[in-house]
Structure 1
């Protein structure tokens, strides 16, 4: 089953968001069907803030290492594309395809002076259309999962704006729509019914159950950086235990007995 077909199964595609070779191996061993990178987790691994603080070449290195240990379909979070023009972004996407990447997440917001802001919707759609055309001309096949940050940024009319942007992006060549921080069952159902694009939702504390998401018509569920954050929290706790106890005993304590 190819990556596009994975978005048309009876159940939503649960994609494992990874950040290095070790997490990719763990996900493959656990039986996941596909991998997606988390830009925030990779940035944190390198000591950066999220929002393209790392370079594209640094991201590319992590992608290379992940591909070296896993044969699962890999989608890469390229944030805002690590460029401002369609030409710059397309150049990066071609390099990913050459590594065997089958999909990307591209977002319609950008961090400017430390503040994330939504791009103008028609302007972003126009850029997306150019990217798709340039990829097609050279026969580069890539699943373009377009992330809209309407809910993440608490847009006053998040649902209406998401539908507007979804229609624009579909017409421009998007293959999927990713709406982080979307949790309302009513809104999810409206989006899946109103738009033809496969809908991708993300791990959130109040996200509906996977079973309910299937009923609502969701095609893809991702983790964002939450799994990485949970692991980092446990690492911090363990480091504190070792330091406070002046002993390695805490390293060998079974979690279930703590």
Structure 2
């Protein structure tokens, strides 16, 4: 029997988490950035909720950009790369509403979804994960815990223990992968790699382990999050400052024609 395209693409995305090298996932914010990254050879591309929120003039992580996130998925989902969507906490505390969003994202062509717990009740996040997997079994659910991103802990041991408790619950609920942004300690990363049964996703940090080191630790997926968007914004500010000061902006500047070529 022929495998539907969406299911085949989802399987391909899942397979990228189980190779000899970790999946390095750049995060885009519009058609041009996603297409440019795809042309650099990336098979899979994620979105970044910070950029989606910033472009709309809204705060990140406040469940305020459901429509914008879905529009971006509709723009990118038909492109020749595998798309994973950062959906914050699912933009709702109602598991059925999160499942409905997952259906819409999958229909748009997404093969993966990031769902963050924002340090809310474990049972609530478990219910969301289970609802999404029931509604769209092929969609790769990357269950994120914010114990290191938002948490305040007295000791590293406490952080690790709480993180493992949450990740274990999310795995049991059906998560295909788990994500721990903000964790940069190599020893703690190694502990999580040994203890979880699904691919572990770590957010790259210039202050943390290199991509090579993360690969050696056994990390399966390395996300860039909002880094590229923030770097692009920083480059724009540096360029305008240089022009205002009478200097020629430095750094790589794509030509007008190169940017035009990114259009469909």
Q: Give the TM-score range, shorter chain.
A: 0.7 to 0.9
| Residue of 26, 33, 36 corresponding to 1:16 | 26
1:101 aligns with 2:110: yes
Q: Aligned match of 1:31 in 18, 41, 50?
A: 41
**What RMSD over aligned residues (CA atoms) do the two structures have, in Å?**
1.8
Task: Assess if the C-alpha contact under 8 Å between 1:14 and 1:33 holds in 2.
Answer: no
Match of 1:82 among 52, 67, 91: 91
Shift of 1:172: 0.3
Structure 2 residue corresponding to 1:144, chosen from 119, 125, 141: 141
Aligned to 1:186: 187
Partner residue, 1:211:
212
CA contact (8 A) 2:63 2:90 kept: no
Number of residue pairs matched by the alignment = 238
Give me the whole-angstrom Cα distance separating, in 2, the residues matched to 1:180 and 1:67.
25
Unmatched 5+ stretches in structure 2: 1-10, 253-264
Match of 1:115 in 2: none
**Where does 1:1-258 land on structure 2 (aligned, <5 Å)?**
2-52=12-62, 54-68=64-78, 70-109=79-118, 118-136=119-137, 141-156=138-153, 157-245=158-246, 250=248, 253-255=249-251
Q: What is the CA-CA distance between 1:53 and the residue it aligns to?
A: 5.4
CA offset at residue 207 of structure 1?
1.8
How many Å separate the matches in 1 of 2:161 and 2:18? 25
- Please report how far the alpha carbon of residue 177 of structure 1 lies from its aligned counterpart in structure 2 after TM superposition: 0.4
Give the TM-score of the pair, scaled to structure 1: 0.87
Counterparts of 1:254 and 1:238 in 2: how far apart (Å)?
A: 7
In the alignment, the residues of structure 1 paired with residue 198 and residue 239 of structure 2 have an alpha-carbon distance, to the nearest angstrom, of 43
Residue 123 and residue 45 in structure 1: after superposition, are their counterparts in 2 closer, same or farther (change >3 A)? closer
TM-aligned CA deviation for residue 244 of structure 1: 4.3
Counterpart of 2:229 in 1: which secondary structure?
A: helix
SS at match of 1:2: helix
Alpha-carbon separation, structure 2, partners of 1:67 and 1:124: 25
Return the offset for 1:242. Answer: 2.9
In structure 2, C-alpha distance between the alignment counterparts of 1:254 and 1:237, rounded to whole Å: 9
Q: Give the CA deviation at 1:146.
A: 0.5
By how many angstroms is 1:133 displaced?
Answer: 2.3
Q: CA deviation at 1:63?
A: 1.8
Query: Are 1:43 and 1:53, in contact at CA under 8 Å, matched by a contact in 2?
Result: no
Q: 1:123/1:47 Cα in 2 relative to 1: closer, same or farther (>3 Å)? A: closer
The alpha-carbon deviation at position 24 of structure 1 amounts to: 0.6
Q: Check whether the contact 2:144–2:180 (CA below 8 A) recurs between aligned residues.
A: yes
